[in-house]
Amino acid sequence: MEKKCRNCIYGTIKSQLTKFDDKAIIFLEGEPLKNIYSIQDGYVKMSKFLDNGDEFIIGVLGPGDYIALLALLQDKEHYIASASCLSKVTLRVMEKQDVLSAYQSNVAFKDNCLKCAVTRSNLFHTQLQLSAQADVKEKIILILKNLSYKFGYIKDKRNIIELPFSKTVLANIINIRRETLSRHLSALQKANILKVEKNTYILNYVI
């Protein structure tokens, strides 16, 4: 799906490449929606900030993903979440009106945009809703299952998930403290459910 989206958009929309450093802020929630972005290289986190100031990460995007496309399709005037870099990032920057014009005039582009937007919108929200009543260990496994669709592969009947970000970011995605994550990861390893090697998570079964 990502490859089709990337191919169709570049042939119809004016754009320019822009590079961002690690931890750079691309835009903040509430700022006027001016541009749509396509990630060429690197990883970006989408987040909201709760009333108590805590960051709640709602998605991690990588090469081939769009940023702010969902807000555009929802006819929003402002960005609905903040975007910041988890690594050095190269983005293709497109003006929102150009993207909207292509969306309205190109049926294939419209269909692919909808698939991309709906998939990304539902993926994290659905997983987090399903895990709302689960205990912490179950939440960790559920989120790793979620992340395996983008960052995982199967080898020797085990699911290998290579995350391009730290355990602090993973803890924020699960909405728990970094120390709580470390404690439960240790328990899961002792139970032989998974093995952790830096930012690689090896589940001892195929999800």
Position 129 scores a pLDDT of: 56
What one-letter code names the amino acid at 20? F
Distance CA 23, CA 88 (A): 8
> What does the alpha-carbon distance between residue 66 and residue 56 come to, in Å, rounded to a whole number?
20
* Confidence at 4, pLDDT banded by 50, 70, 90: very low
**What digits encode the pLDDT tens for the residues 154-170?**
998 899 999 988 898 88
pLDDT band per the 50, 70, 90 thresholds, residue 11: low
SS3 145: helix
Give per-residue pLDDT as tens, 65-111: 889 988 898 899 999 999 999 889 999 999 999 888 888 887 777 77
Provide the percentage of residues in the chain whose pLDDT is more than 70: 84
Q: Which DSSP string corresponds to 135-191?
A: -HHHHHHHHHHHHHHHHEEEETTEEEEE-SS-HHHHHHHHTS-HHHHHHHHHHHHHT
Please tell me the distance from the alpha carbon of residue 174 to that of residue 167, in angstroms, as a whole number.
10
Token pair of 13 as six digits: 């929309």
Cβ distance 71 to 79 under 8 Å? yes
- Which of 19 and 150 is assigned the larger pLDDT? 19
- Mean pLDDT across 32-53: 89
- Is pLDDT at 7 greater than 80 in this prediction? no
Which among 61, 62, 68 is positioned nearest to 94, based on CA atoms?
68
pLDDT at 2: 36
91, 89, 90, 116: which is closest to 103 by C-alpha? 116
For residue 133, what pLDDT is reported?
53
Give the tens place of pLDDT for each residue, 181-203: 999 999 999 999 999 999 999 99
Residue 161 Cα distances to 146, 154, 198, angstroms:
10, 9, 11
Measured between alpha carbons, how far is 22 from 47 in angstroms, rounded to an integer? 16
Kindly state the average pLDDT of the residues 42-53. Answer: 84
The residue whose two tokens read 């240790």 is 186
What number of residues does the chain have?
Answer: 207
Between 30-34, 118-122, 140-144, the lowest mean confidence (pLDDT) is in: 118-122
Whole-angstrom distance, CA of residue 162 vs CA of residue 148: 8
Contact between residue 117 and residue 73 where contact means Cβ atoms under 8 Å apart: yes
153 pLDDT higher than 70: yes
